[in-house]
Every structure is written in structure tokens, then in C-alpha cells.
Chain A
Amino acid sequence: MIKINISKTLQGSSGDMSLRVKLDIKEQDFLAISGKSGSGKTTLLRILAGLEDSNGEIEISGISWKDFPVQKRNIGFVFQDYALFENMSVEKNLLFVNDDKKLAKHLLELTQLTSLAKRLPNKLSGGQKQRVALCRAFMKRPKLLLLDEPLSALDPLMRAKLQDDILKLHKEFKTTTIMVSHDPSEIYKLSNRLVVLEDGKIIKDGCAKDILLQTQGSQKFSLKGEILDIVKADIIFIAVVAIGQQIVEIVLDEDESKSFKIGQSVHVSTKAFAPNITA
């Protein structure tokens, strides 16, 4: 069991904010943390890693980590910007952490990086770099793996591949993993528990499906979007709404067209029919 009960005062852009988090996490859980920027997600990870100090207690399998410096904590940390050691080859990046050639070879094989072992980081693509960073994080066989928005800089295809890798390694090494993420599909696919932070406090805690599913009552589906434009077409009005990466048109009557503004955040839902799904 991992017991976290910490507090820290943060200087945010809108004044001081107090970060207070109490969490019990079962070992080998995959916990996702989401929330608006500035809600304290990254700081929480950094406190767990020992990169920032805090008040309170962190206990891992009955051992207090409070007084352990970052070097003594058995963790892996994956940064959003990869943070590879630029002067070392892929292989050396791994061996610098722990001189275990067998483990390094195994990790590189698992993530299909073996052919790139001798390359320097500046000769790798973003996805390759992040796979190296992921392997590097496992070289200490960490008890706790911390991922700070690891895939947010990558394209969707690369994300899917990395998500598989993360899940594979999480299971094989039996780590407890905490990942900061904004991507609902990623959270749904990887985690078995989701915590939502707002202004330094936990406002939601549960399984990803319960928290992420946006429908209410008898709604068949409900999608969150933003109104880009409202145009008049003969006697009706059409709202152009951006939903994720897609743009759709929704028909409005005159009253509705007046009640919405361009730039407004809205939910697009339907209950009258079952949506068709095609490949």
C-alpha cells in the first residue's frame, strides 16, 4: 500500500494555493491524475519523487519516504520533454542508471529499440526518445513509476504504440504507476483509477469510466465541444462546433441561435436514436 498525505503552499499565477492530497493507492495499481493546468498535478509527482519538499507523510509498503532524498527513492520518472542524457547513446542512457546489461537489452527488445542502441538522442524521433525515457525509468526496477504527461507531445499513432508499451512494462515489472494525463482515451485505456485535482484538492476519485462518461439521464451520447461560428441559412441557423479534432454542423432555431455565443463550451448530445457505428 502506498499512503500519501501531503500539503504544500504553491505560488500560482492567481496567488497562493495550498496543495493538500490524501491518497491511498494499492500496489500495482495504475492511477491517472487529471485536472486543469495549475491544479498541482506535476507538483504532486515531484513531491513523490523527492524533487520538491512538502509537509506530511509518504509511506511505501510500510516504509516512510519522507526523509529519503530523491536518490534513495526507488522510483522511475518520465518527463514530458524526455530529458534524455544528450551526451550518451540510447544504451548508455539506460546503463548510466543501472549497469545491468541484460535488463537494458531486454527493455530495448521489448520496445523495439535494439537497432537504435548506439544512437545519440538527437538522432531520434520524439516517439523513439520517449520510449528510451520509458526504458530508462525501468532500469532501477522501480516500486513507483511516475509519468508526467508522457505522451502529450506525440502524434496519435505514436501515442497508441507508447500506451501499449507503458501497459506492457507496468504489468511485467509489477510497478505501481501514477500518470498525469489529459487524454480521456489514454486514461480509460491505461488506468484502473482516476483522480481529478482542482486548486490543489481532489474533487473526483473513482474508476475512469464513471468519471469520464459524460452522458446524463437517457442521453445516448454526449460530446463536449466549442462553438466556432453561428451562421444563418435561409430561415434556420447553423452552429459550427469543434468536437475534439472534428468539426460538425448543428441546426439551431432562432431562439437557440441567440442563446449561444461563439467560443462557448457546449455539450452535443442526442437521445432519440441509437448512433450508428461504422469502421
Chain B
Amino acid sequence: MIFGLDLEPFLLSFKLAGITTFILFLIALPFSWWLSQTKSRYKPLLEAITSLPIVLPPSVIGFYVLFALSYNSPIGAFFEETFGISLVFNFTGLVIASCFYSFPFMVQPLQSGFESLNKNMIEASFVAGKTKLQTLYFVALPNIKPALLSALIITFAHTVGEFGVVLMVGGSISGETKVASVAIYEMVEIMDYEMAHIYSAIMLTLSFVTLLGVYTFNHKYKKRIGI
């Protein structure tokens, strides 16, 4: 509580976004590298599946995730019986749902970053005897810094901004699943417009500052390396 403001929803939003971004980075990095290098005929299929969360209504994603993770599904039942953890209406469920929801926002910038690299530079690394993984870490990744930053920030910001999926999978449990976007929705519902204004203004400012930071960095970086 600062100045009578309950900051817990914001902290929860940022905790969720931070964990989601970290997990997605680990998963999406090798995946987007593979997508950028492969000549497999299944590539369009995988790209289409990856991009689905961009076009699907969040309620649809939320519904499927809820359905897949609930106690009535094999996955949900397995986790409940084996580890004694429930995957819905708690923070763990939110993280899983967010990972689905924000996956394309991590994969796409990384993939297009990798695809824009000079292919000969990548091959020069193979000729030098380096494996694909070594090439990824020592050559490809350091040369796509703006795309990397975009991927991390956009994924983070997008997770902070999610609403439908969170509501479907998490409900609105204070301190557990009530993130900022859900809290604002509830304030409007009970007609507490003053608090809704304050919360919304905070979200707006944070989002703007974050994006401004990303674009400023990219602008400066491109100027420095002379693009």
C-alpha cells in the first residue's frame, strides 16, 4: 500500500510477465533459430501454429488452456495426483497460459532477426568447425541485439497487458491471480472510476516508457553500426 494504492496487482503482473518472458526465451530461442535455418516442408505448418495466439480471441486460448489443465483432463489429473498441484485458478496456471499466449511475440522477432543475418557469416562459422549451437550463441545472437531486445520487451509488455486469458484461467483471486488488467476491470465493474483512472494511467505510462526505451535503443544501435 502506497498512498492508499494496492500495488499487489501490479507486482503480480510484473512477476507473471518476468517469469513468462524468462521461460519463453529459453524455449523460443532454439525454436526460432531452428525455424530460421530449416528447409523442412513442415515449416509453414509450425509457423502457422506459432502465430495462432495473435489472431485467436484470448478467451478461446483461455478456454482451451482451462480445458486442458483442469482436473477433468488427463494432464490436469496427472499433475493433481502425482505432484498434488492444481494447474488452474492459481499462479502456475497463469504462467502456463501466458506462455501459450505470448509465444509468437518471442518467436517472431527472433526468427526474423536470425533470417536477416548474412547467411555466409553463419556458414563461415560452420566452416570454422563450430556446431549449430555454438554458432547460435557466439555468432547469431550477438548480431541480432535489436531483435533480441524487441522480443524480450514485447513479450514482457504483452504479458503485462493480457486480460482475457488471465481471467479465464486464473479468475480473480487477490494476491494469486488478480493482475493489474483484471483489477482495473473489476474497478470499472463496481464503478470505482477514480481508482480505475489511477491504475490505467500507471499502466499507460509504464507501457509507453518501456516502448520508448526499446525504440530509442534500436535507433541508437542502428546508427552506431551504420545501418
In the complex, chain B residues 95-151 whose Cβ is within 8 Å of any chain A Cβ: 118, 120-121, 123-131, 138-139, 142-143
Please classify the interface of chain B as helix (H, G, I), strand (E, B), loop, or mixed, using the class held by over half of its residues: helix
CA A75 to CA B126, docked complex, whole Å = 11
Pick from A70, A81, A87, A122: contact of B127, CB under 8 Å: A70
Report the minimal beta-carbon distance from A91 to chain B, rounded to whole angstroms: 15
Query: With contacts A70-B126, A87-B139 known, is A122 near B226, CB below 8 A?
Result: yes
CA A193 to CA B131, docked complex, whole Å = 34
Q: For the side of the interface on B, what is the size category?
A: 10 to 19
CA A122 to CA B121, docked complex, whole Å = 14
A122 touches B225 (CB 8 A): yes
- Which residue of A is nearest B124, CB measured? A83
A81 touches B130 (CB 8 A): no
B121 touches A86 (CB 8 A): yes
How many A-B residue pairs have C-beta atoms within 8 angstroms? Tell me. Answer: 56
- Which residue of A is nearest B131, CB measured? A71
- Which residue of A is nearest B226, CB measured? A122
CA A133 to CA B124, docked complex, whole Å = 10
Interface flag for A173 (CB, 8 Å): no
Interface flag for A96 (CB, 8 Å): yes
Per-residue B-contact encoding for A114-143, CB less than 8 Å = 1, 0 else: 000000001000000000010010011000
Determine the chain A residues whose CB is within 8 A of the CB of B142 once the complex forms. Answer: 87
Interface flag for A51 (CB, 8 Å): yes
Query: With contacts A71-B131, A96-B138, A122-B225 known, is A85 near B126, CB below 8 A?
Result: no
CA A97 to CA B120, docked complex, whole Å = 15
Report the minimal beta-carbon distance from A97 to chain B, rounded to whole angstroms: 4
A96 touches B128 (CB 8 A): yes
Per-residue B-contact encoding for A10-51, CB less than 8 Å = 1, 0 else: 000000000000000000000000000000000000000101
Show 12 residue pairs from A and B whose CB-CB distance is below 8 angstroms, ordered by the A residue: A49-B127, A51-B126, A71-B131, A72-B129, A75-B127, A79-B123, A84-B121, A84-B124, A86-B121, A98-B128, A139-B128, A140-B128
Other A-B pairs beyond A70-B126, A83-B121, A87-B143, 8, CB < 8 Å? A70-B123, A75-B127, A79-B123, A81-B118, A87-B142, A97-B128, A133-B124, A136-B128
